[in-house]
Amino acid sequence: MSLLNRAAVFYEPGRPFELIELPVPEARPGGLTLRITRSNVCGSDLHTWRGDGRARRTDPAGSILGHEAVGIVHELGEGVTADWNGQPLAVGDRIAFQYFRPCGNCRNCLRQMPEACTESFKIRFGDRNKWPYARGTYADYIYLHPGQAVFKVPDAVPDALAASANCALSQVIMGLQRVDVTFGDRVVVQGCGGLGIYACAIAKERGAEMVVALDAVQDRLDLARQMGADHTINVSEVTDMHERVGQIKTLTHGFGADVVVEVVGSPAVINEGLRMLGWGGRYLEIGVVFRGEHFECDPGRLVGQNQRIEAVGSYTAACLQKAIGFLDRNMQSLPLDEVLVEYPLEEIGQAFADQDAGRIRRASLVME
Ligand SMILES: [Zn+2]
Ligand SMILES: [Zn+2]
C-alpha cells in the first residue's frame, strides 16, 4: 500500500481549504511519525479561519492548521522505546501528544515555566515542501520531535475523548491549577463551549463546592450541568450584566466567586467576570487567544479587593498526563463525547463553517 499524506492547506479567510498530498515524514532519532486518526476544530483554529485580531496575518504560501488531535504511532525514531509514563511504546500504539515543544533551556524553561517557553511553538511553522512537511494535524501524518511529550491512551478511552486531551482539556487543567481551584471554592465559568464544559468538570474534580456556568445557548448549559455545574445562567434570558453579577452574589451569599474562568473567547465579557469575583478572588483568562483586543477594567477594585488576573496559553507535560488520567477515570460518568460532530477531512470547510455558525458545538475531523 502506498502511503498518502493528505493535508488541508489554509490560505486566508474566505478562501476554501485546498487538499494536497505531501510525503510521509520519516522518523528521525528521538522522534516519531504519527498517523492522525482524529483532529478537532479548536477555537484558535476558528479564529485564524475567520481572521480575528492579529490572526488575520496569514502566510501567503498557506499553512496547515490543526493541533487538537490523537493518532497512532506509524514509525519510531531510533532510541524511542517508551512514552513519558515509561510505558513501552510500539508502532500501532495510540497516543496523545504535546503539539508544541518547550526547549528545556531558555530562561523560562530553566525557571520551571516550560509553558512560557519562548521557543515552544516554532516547530509548528516551516516550509511544507521540506521535512517534516505537515506541521498541523489537518493531515494524515505528522512528525513529533524529541521533547514533545507523548502518552499512550488507554484502550478504553475512545478517540472522540482522547482528541481533545492535548489542547482544550490540558489547557483547562493547567489554568485551574494556576489559579489553584481547591476544596470549597465557588467557581464561575463564562462560556460553555469545549473549554467551558471541561472547566466545570475539572473544577468539581478539584473540589469546588459550587460551579456556576454562563452561556447564551440552553443545550450548552444543560451539558454543563451534566459535566458538574450546580447552577446555570442563560445570558440570552438574563440580559442585564448587573443582574447577572447580582445572581452570582446571591448564589455565593454575598461574597462573590473565588474563581471566574473566561472561556467565551471574547474580551467583552471580562469586565463582567471581574465584577463577579469576591475579595481575594482569582480571574482566569484562557479564551481570548488572538491579540489586538482590549477590555475594560477598574484596577482600583482589583487592588482594593486583593484580586488577581492570571492568563494561561499553554500547559506542562504533566497536565497532559493528568488529562489522560482524567478521561480514563471519568469516561463512564461524563457525557464528554456528546460535544463532537464528525466530518471527513474532505469536508473540513463545512466543519469550520458549521462550528463558526454555532450549528454544532465542536467539529471533529476523522481521518480514516
Ligand atoms: Zn487548541
Ligand atoms: Zn524554553
Name the CATH topology of 5-163+335-366. Quinone Oxidoreductase; Chain A, domain 1 (3.90.180)
- Which segments within 289-361 are labelled E, that is strand? 308-311, 340-344
Which ligand is closest to the CA of 41, given by its number?
1
Q: Please report which ligand is nearest the Cα atom of 43.
A: 1
Residue 250 Cα to ligand 1 midpoint, Å, equals 34
Ligand 1 centroid vs 42 CA: distance in angstroms? 5
Ligand nearest to the CA of 106: 2
Q: Which ligand is nearest to the CA of 48?
A: 1
CA of 322 to the centre of ligand 2 (A): 22
Q: Which ligand is nearest to the CA of 118?
A: 2
Query: 324 C-alpha vs ligand 1 centroid, how far in Å?
Result: 16
Q: How far is the CA of 9 from the centre of ligand 2 (A)?
A: 29
Among all ligands shown, which has an atom nearest to the Cα of 314?
Answer: 1
How far apart are the CA of 290 and the centre of ligand 1, in A? 12
Q: How many angstroms does the Cα of residue 100 sit away from the middle of ligand 2?
A: 11
pLDDT by residue for the chain (368 residues), tens only, comes to 456 899 999 999 999 999 999 999 999 999 999 999 999 999 889 989 998 876 555 678 899 999 999 999 999 999 999 999 999 999 999 999 999 999 999 999 999 999 999 999 999 899 999 999 999 999 999 999 999 999 999 999 999 889 999 999 999 999 999 999 999 999 999 999 889 999 999 999 999 999 999 999 999 999 999 999 999 999 999 999 999 999 999 999 999 999 999 999 999 999 999 999 999 999 999 999 888 889 999 999 999 999 999 999 999 999 999 999 999 999 887 776 667 899 999 999 999 999 999 888 889 999 97
The Cα–Cα gap between 358 and 117 comes to 34
Q: Which residues contact 96 (CB under 8 A, 6 or more apart)?
A: 70, 150, 151, 153, 162, 165, 166, 320, 323, 324
Break the chain into its structural domains and give their ranges: 5-163+335-366, 173-311
Q: Considering the entire predicted model, what is its pTM? A: 0.95
Q: Among the bound ligands, name the one nearest to the CA of residue 114.
A: 2
Q: What's the CA-to-centroid distance between 43 and ligand 1, angstroms?
A: 6
CATH number among 3.30.360.10, 3.40.50.720, 3.30.465.10, 3.40.190.10, domain 173-311: 3.40.50.720
Residue 111 alpha carbon to ligand 2 centre in Å? 9
Q: What angle do CA 357, 361, 363 make, to 5 degrees?
A: 90
Residue type (1 letter), 172? V
Closest ligand to residue 45's CA? 1
Q: Are 320 and 170 in contact (CB under 8 A)?
A: yes
For residue 167, how far is its CA from the centre of ligand 1 (angstroms)? Answer: 5
